[in-house]
Structure 1
Amino acid sequence: MKKLLVLATAIFAFNAPVFADYPEKDITLIVPWSAGGGTDTIARSLVKNAKQYIGVNVNVVNKTGGQGVVGMNATKMARPDGYTAGMITFGLSTYRLMGLSDISYRDYELLQLLNQSSAAISVNKGSQFTSLDDVIQYSKANPGIVTLGHTGAGAAWHLSAASLGVMHDVEFNYIPFAGGAPTRSALLGGHVSLAATGIDEVKDLYEAGEVNILAVNAATRHPAFPNVPTLAEAGYKIDAPVLDWRGLALPKNVPADRVAFLEEGFKKMFNDPEFRALAKQKGLILVYEDSDGFEGFLGNMEQVLQPTLDAVGLLK
């Protein structure tokens, strides 16, 4: 018994400095969507000055596929040592409801909510459509002809466009892509007629005159896009806007002291003046909730999305 006690004491003494010295190396932040998209942009902007606040760099790694499942599952399955964090996004609220994956927010140690975004319906500068009414009227006369690019069935931008179609009896031809960047490229290249993206994701293209935003799926106009009408203002109101969200999480069972350290560190990055200025420049609406508030938000989100998914035939 005495030998066991000595051994346990030795093990504790050996392990203690590891926790005290954390972090000893850079931290990885897994982003489940492609480089250049809205989620990737906010992640890289957030951690740009990470070393100033936590003493090490945070390196973004993009792991795409499965409508975000691949990357978010990689975060869930990562070693729980505090050296891997992940961006979790809107899809986590729909996977189980759609029967795509068993993962949900309950599988993570939540850190914080970062952002909420509203969807935009956009066309390229050479489009035959100059208003949302043009799109709706043409689509009603030609069901299934108008192609609409998005980031996957059940993703926020798809549900935003699909809810518009359901409410106003319009049939689009939905074309999925692996993130906002390839969706924008398809729109610019004329491979799709419309794109449903975060409005912030097309800000630069809009300001450069490369795309025209026909409407935003929100209750009010976006402050960075005062000339873009809401769906209701464009004549096609829907019951409730579908908003995208992004947040930070860790695998389960990360030691409590490391969780607390990362919560504090990422909050400092969130409040970094350079990050907040860049978010404003990009049209990103920042919304902070701590781990408890984030959990409550996600629980409510599942309840809100159930009838939406049912309306578009995606609820399992």
Structure 2
Amino acid sequence: MTTKRFFLRTLASAIALTAAGGAALHASALQAAPDTAATFPSKPVRIIVPVAPGGSADKLTRTLGERLSQLWGQTVIVENVAGASGTIGAGKVAKAAPDGYTLLQQGEGLMLNSILFRDLPYDTARSFAPVVKAVVNPQVLVVNPGTGLNTLGDYLARAKAQPESISLALPGNGGIAHVAHEILAQETGAKVNYIPYPGGGPASVDVIAGHANATLITLAAVTEYVRAGKLRALAVTTSYRSPALPNVPTVAEAAKLPGYSVESWQGYFAPAGTPPAIVQKINRDINQVLQLPEVRAQLEAQGFKVAGGSSADLARSLQTEQPRYAQAIKTAGLTIR
């Protein structure tokens, strides 16, 4: 082989290797490039639900997750991380990469924990980016039918005549149910035995089994059990009756407590620092799923009331509710124990 031919062949090989290497580097750079709103999501998305499976938060997130997976063409993984009134799951999201691929399902409990707990594994005001308030819903007081408590009047009468004789399964110590019942107790003098649970699923199952007498819980978690006669609903905490269980009175009606009203909600958060464009993309897509007729009908049948709205709406809601619940907790003398 002549020196000229050898040089040309070597040069061609070098050019080919350089081109291949450049293509590989380009592909690697594209793979490593951060997502934009146009490309998000390009891999599975994980939603942390900070309570045990089976409750309303779990049902809501799995319903939305299935539809979001179809919309995004990516798997949506629902991970239950229960414990410490939701603070363990929230702490996990607070430390996650701020890229939109790890989200937190939470409601007013996020704000309540900031009032009730002295030491948290995150800074509530700085660790999360609000995404969307998905639903609002009543809490409902339900009992095992075997207790013989047929009305809220029966319940309150026994709780006053025989203090702490009623065992109340709390779906999270210090949560909205705890606050709602403490306000009721302060107003009526009722005293029950609180038993904390890691979520609404285990709490309702134990009431059905007779291991606890009652629970105050998000209505959507127990509508099926009430309709099946496994639980008896005594009253809802909102100022309005729920269309899902229209025959169940409000606490204000049944206990003759005008002005009594506690409404809970559930929404989604991303870690602080998540690009605003990705937060807005997730917001738009969750809103789109919430407005699907079949999804809306399914959620409303369970007892949810679809909310939706912007991430700014959720941020304003937190700012408005924080002083209100702080005052309610102070008045009720509620403490974590």
If the length of structure 1 is used for normalisation, what is the TM-score? 0.90
- 1:315–1:142 Cα change, 3 Å: closer
Q: Which structure 2 residues correspond to residues 1-316 of structure 1 after superposition, within 5 A?
A: 14=29, 18-19=34-35, 21-100=39-118, 101=120, 103-237=123-257, 239-314=259-334
Q: Deviations over 1:156-188 (max 9, x none)?
A: 111111111111111111111111111101111
Larger CA deviation: 38-47 vs 270-279: 270-279
Which residue is 2:8 aligned to? none
Q: Is the 8 A contact 2:82 2:89 kept in 1?
A: yes
In the alignment of these two chains, the number of paired residues is: 306
Q: Is the 8 A contact 1:151 1:179 kept in 2?
A: yes
Larger CA deviation: 239-248 vs 220-229: 239-248
State the one-letter code of the partner of 1:284.
Answer: F
Q: CA RMSD in A?
A: 2.1
In structure 2, what is the Cα distance between the partners aligned to 1:273 and 1:55? 21
State the one-letter code of the partner of 2:191.
Answer: E
Superposed displacement of residue 248, structure 1: 0.9
In structure 1, what is the Cα distance between the partners aligned to 2:199 and 2:96? 23
Q: Deviations over 1:10-52 (max 9, x none)?
A: 99x9368543544221111111111110000000001212233
- SS state at 1:47 partner: helix
Superposed displacement of residue 153, structure 1: 2.7
- 1:191–1:261 Cα change, 3 Å: same
In structure 2, what is the Cα distance between the partners aligned to 1:315 and 1:135? 23
In structure 2, what is the Cα distance between the partners aligned to 1:315 and 1:91? 14
Q: Deviations over 1:228-265 (max 9, x none)?
A: 11112213416442222111111111233322322222
- SS state at 1:85 partner: strand
If the length of structure 2 is used for normalisation, what is the TM-score? 0.85
In structure 2, what is the Cα distance between the partners aligned to 1:288 and 1:22? 20
Q: Deviations over 1:74-118 (max 9, x none)?
A: 111111122111112221111221124254254211111011111
Higher Rg of the two aligned structures = 2
Larger CA deviation: 230-239 vs 131-140: 230-239
Identify the structure with the greater helix proportion: 2
Segments of structure 2 that go 5 or more residues without pairing to the other structure are 1-24
In structure 2, what is the Cα distance between the partners aligned to 1:306 and 1:17? 43
Q: Is the 8 A contact 2:173 2:197 kept in 1?
A: no
In structure 2, what is the Cα distance between the partners aligned to 1:145 and 1:280? 35
Displaced runs of 4 or more, over 6 A: none
Which residue is 2:10 aligned to? none
- 1:49–1:307 Cα change, 3 Å: same
In structure 2, what is the Cα distance between the partners aligned to 1:296 and 1:106? 15
In structure 1, what is the Cα distance between the partners aligned to 2:177 and 2:92? 23
